Structure 1
Amino acid sequence: MEQHATHQRIVITGVGLTAPGAANLSEFRANLLAGTSGISTLDLRYMGVHPAGLCSFAETRYRKKRENSRGTRAGCIGVYCANEALVDAGIDFSTYDPAATGVYIGLTEHGTVETENEVYNIGQYGHDVNYWTHHHNPRTVLNNPAGEITMNLRLTGPHYSIGAACAAGNAALIQGVQMLRLGEVDLALCGGLSECVGSFGIFASFRAQGALAEHQDPTKASRPFDRDRNGIVISEGGCVFTLERLDAALERGASIYGEITGYAMNSDARDFVLPYGPRQRQCMEMALARAGLSPADITIVNTHATGTKQGDVEECNAVRETFAGCENTWINNTKSSIGHAMGAAGVLELAGNLPSFTDNMVHPTINVDNLDPECALPGLVANAPKQLERVDAILNNSFGMLGINSVVIVERFVAN
Structure 2
Amino acid sequence: MKNDNQRIVITGIGLTSPLGNNLAELREGLLTGKSGIVHTEIRHMGVVAAGLCKFDETKHQPKKMRKRGTRAGAISIYCTKEALIDSKIDFDGVDKNRVGVYLGITEHGNVETENEIHDLYNTHNKDVSFWSHHHNPRTVANNPAGEVTLNMGITGPHYTIGAACAAGNLGIIQGAQQLLLDEVDLAFAGGVSESTETFGIFAAFKAQGALGHHEDPPLATRPLDKDRNGIVVSEGGAVYVLERLSDAKKRGAHIYAEIVGYHSNSDATDFVLPNTERQIECMQFAMKKAGLEASDIDIVSMHATGTNQGDIQECQAVAQVFGNSKNTYVNATKGFIGHAMGAAGALELAGNIPSFTDGYVHPCKKIENLDPECAIPNLVNGEKVAHDSKYILNNSFGMLGINSSLIVKKFAQ
Please indicate the TM-score interval, normalised by the length of the shorter structure: over 0.9
1:364 partner SS: coil
Alignment of 1:84-233 (within 5 A): 84-124=82-122, 125-233=124-232
Deviation per residue, 1:46-89 (Å, 9 max, x gap): 00000000001122211122221111000001100000000000
CA contact (8 A) 2:5 2:246 kept: no
Deviation per residue, 1:133-168 (Å, 9 max, x gap): 111001001101101001111111000001000001
Cα distance in 1 between the residues matched to 2:297 and 2:93: 34
Of 59, 70, 75, the residue aligned with 1:61 is 59
Alignment of 1:395-414 (within 5 A): 395-414=393-412
1:260 partner SS: strand
Aligned amino acid, residue 112 of structure 1: N
Give the corresponding residue for 1:14: 12
Give the corresponding residue for 1:358: 357
1:239 partner SS: strand
Residue 126 of structure 1 deviates from its aligned partner by 1.4
Residue 117 of structure 1 deviates from its aligned partner by 1.3
Cα distance in 2 between the residues matched to 1:259 and 1:406: 17
With 183-192 and 126-135 compared, the bigger mean Cα shift is at 126-135
Aligned amino acid, residue 287 of structure 2: L
Cα distance in 1 between the residues matched to 2:118 and 2:92: 46
1:275 partner SS: coil
Aligned amino acid, residue 231 of structure 1: G
Aligned amino acid, residue 398 of structure 2: G
1:207 partner SS: helix
CA contact (8 A) 1:213 1:230 kept: yes
Give the corresponding residue for 2:243: 244
Residue 114 of structure 1 deviates from its aligned partner by 2.0
Residue 131 of structure 1 deviates from its aligned partner by 1.2
Cα distance in 2 between the residues matched to 1:324 and 1:340: 26
CA contact (8 A) 1:220 1:367 kept: no
Residue 21 of structure 1 deviates from its aligned partner by 2.5
Residue 18 of structure 1 deviates from its aligned partner by 0.2
1:402 partner SS: helix
Aligned amino acid, residue 89 of structure 1: S
Cα distance in 2 between the residues matched to 1:94 and 1:10: 22
Deviation per residue, 1:355-411 (Å, 9 max, x gap): 0000110111014110001111110001111111x1010000000000000000000
> Could you list the runs of 5+ residues in structure 1 that have no partner in the other structure?
none
Provide the alpha-carbon RMSD of the alignment: 1.2
2:6 partner SS: coil
With 108-117 and 311-320 compared, the bigger mean Cα shift is at 108-117
Cα distance in 1 between the residues matched to 2:392 and 2:363: 15
CA contact (8 A) 2:277 2:317 kept: yes
Residue 92 of structure 1 deviates from its aligned partner by 2.3
Alignment of 1:208-357 (within 5 A): 208-357=207-356
Cα distance in 1 between the residues matched to 2:5 and 2:240: 21
With 218-227 and 313-322 compared, the bigger mean Cα shift is at 218-227
CA contact (8 A) 1:364 1:386 kept: yes
CA contact (8 A) 1:96 1:186 kept: no
Residue 111 of structure 1 deviates from its aligned partner by 2.2
> Could you list the runs of 5+ residues in structure 2 that have no partner in the other structure?
none
CA contact (8 A) 2:4 2:244 kept: no
Inter-CA distance 33–368: structure 2 relative to 1 (3 Å threshold): same
Residue 324 of structure 1 deviates from its aligned partner by 2.3
Are residues 1:393 and 2:391 paired? yes
Cα distance in 2 between the residues matched to 1:32 and 1:21: 8
Of 36, 39, 44, the residue aligned with 1:38 is 36
Residue 6 of structure 1 deviates from its aligned partner by 10
Aligned amino acid, residue 220 of structure 2: A
Cα distance in 1 between the residues matched to 2:312 and 2:201: 23
2:284 partner SS: helix
2:400 partner SS: coil
1:238 partner SS: strand
Cα distance in 1 between the residues matched to 2:379 and 2:251: 39
Deviation per residue, 1:16-67 (Å, 9 max, x gap): 0000020100000000000101111110000000000000112221112222
Aligned amino acid, residue 283 of structure 2: M
Cα distance in 1 between the residues matched to 2:92 and 2:207: 52
CA contact (8 A) 1:333 1:364 kept: yes
Deviation per residue, 1:259-304 (Å, 9 max, x gap): 0000000000000000111100000000000000000000000000
Aligned amino acid, residue 120 of structure 2: I
CA contact (8 A) 1:164 1:171 kept: yes
Identity of aligned residues (%): 59
Cα distance in 2 between the residues matched to 1:228 and 1:283: 29
Aligned amino acid, residue 271 of structure 1: D
Deviation per residue, 1:213-270 (Å, 9 max, x gap): 0011111211100000000000000000000000100110000000000000000000
